[in-house]
Amino acid sequence: MPLAEAKDIDIGVSSDADIVVRAPVADLTILVKNLVDNAIRYTPHGGRVDLSTGMRDGQPWLRVEDSGPGIAPEERARVFDPFYRVLGSDADGSGLGLSIAGTIGARIGARIELDDAKPHGVIATVIFSASTVKQRISANAC
């Protein structure tokens, strides 16, 4: 939150539905923290980062959407590689945040999809497998 405040980034939280997943709390915390931290780092001053949760086809999802520069479709798979950074970015970081999030997602039975936000930015959606449904995650707790 200090970085978001320093950059005057508006953080929004909403929920279509509280979701329930079975996963270690530490894993969920690190996964969400890395996605949110990444969104804040790449969102310019005065931008917006929104967190939301919901269900689709019996699968819970958690979404982090930012108003940053976005990630080109041809680079989306690479950003999950350790130490990979999109060229031209002036954001500080090691290139490990999305790699760690992807590794945790795979370990707990979730996948992370990256899409374009409108008019610009990235939407990172964590889609949990139906087998992980158990522990409640509320968008209000994010």
Domain count, the chain: 1
CATH no. for residue 137?
Answer: 3.30.565.10
Instruction: Write out the residue range of the structural domain in which residue 78 sits.
Output: 2-141
- pLDDT at position 111: 95
Please spell the DSSP secondary structure of 89-141, one letter per residue.
------S-HHHHHHHHHHHHTEEEEEEE-SSSSEEEEEEE-GGGTTEEE-GGG
Query: How far does CA 59 lie from the centroid of its chain?
Result: 17
Q: pLDDT tens digit string along 70-87?
A: 998 998 989 888 887 775
- pLDDT at position 24: 93
